[in-house]
């Protein structure tokens, strides 16, 4: 692949919770399962800390897809998951208003050994972005 082509590969940002999804992403590596290299996992204590504009800015800057991998209802912080889910819905609305495909932002739950769930999410997002972008 030529350098110029590579620059076209859409980038996926994964916000992974410290308690569940980040160790889950490590687990995928531990079993040496492969997934596209255009994915960047960023460790966060709780993605609830990001406001709506954060996501929109990411898209503006050139991130093609965002997967928020949370702990789901096993979240160690009370109330955080529900707030996060509400916020993501609101970001979806804002994305719609701006003409950004809403399925470019996904919220899911990934546990410490959920390698299958992790891979499914990454592959799905990759498919979506490479077929449409």
Phi, psi angle pair for 65, to nearest 5°: -145, 145
Smaller CB separation from another protein, 61 or 131: 61
Give whichever of 20 and 107 is closer to another protein, judged by the CB atom: 20
Q: Binding residues for another protein, per CB under 8 A?
A: 1, 3-4, 6-7, 11, 13, 19-20, 23, 25-46, 48-51, 54, 57-58, 61-63, 71, 74, 77-80, 83, 87, 111-117
**Min dist. Cβ of residue 14 to another protein (A):** 9
Listed residue (117, 14, 16) closest to 66, CA to CA: 14
Phi, psi of 33 (to 5 degrees): -85, 140
Which is closer to another protein, CB of 31 or CB of 97?
31
82 half-sphere exposure, CB direction, 13 A CA radius: 2
Beta bridge partners of 39: 12
Smallest distance, Å, CB 52 to another protein? 8
Q: Which is nearer to another protein, 51 or 132 (CB)?
A: 51
Q: Are 70 and 81 in contact (CB under 8 A)?
A: yes
As measured in angstroms, the least distance from the Cβ of 34 to another protein is 5
Pairwise CA distance, residues 119 & 133, whole Å: 20
CB of 30: closest distance to another protein in angstroms?
5
């Amino acid at each position: 692949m030529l350098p110029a082509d590579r620059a076209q590969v859409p980038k996926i940002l994964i916000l992974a919770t410290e308690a569940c999804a980040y160790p889950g992403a490590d687990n995928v590596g531990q079993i040496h399962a492969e997934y596209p290299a255009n994915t960047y996992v960023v460790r966060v204590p709780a993605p609830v800390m990001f406001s709506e504009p954060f996501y929109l800015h990411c898209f503006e800057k050139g991130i093609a897809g965002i997967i928020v991998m949370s702990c789901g209802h096993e979240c160690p912080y009370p109330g955080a998951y529900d707030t996060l889910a509400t916020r993501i819905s609101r970001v979806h609305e804002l994305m719609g208003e701006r003409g950004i495909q809403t399925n470019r932002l996904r919220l899911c739950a990934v546990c410490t050994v959920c390698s299958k769930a992790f891979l499914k999410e990454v592959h799905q997002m990759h498919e979506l972005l490479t077929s449409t972008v």
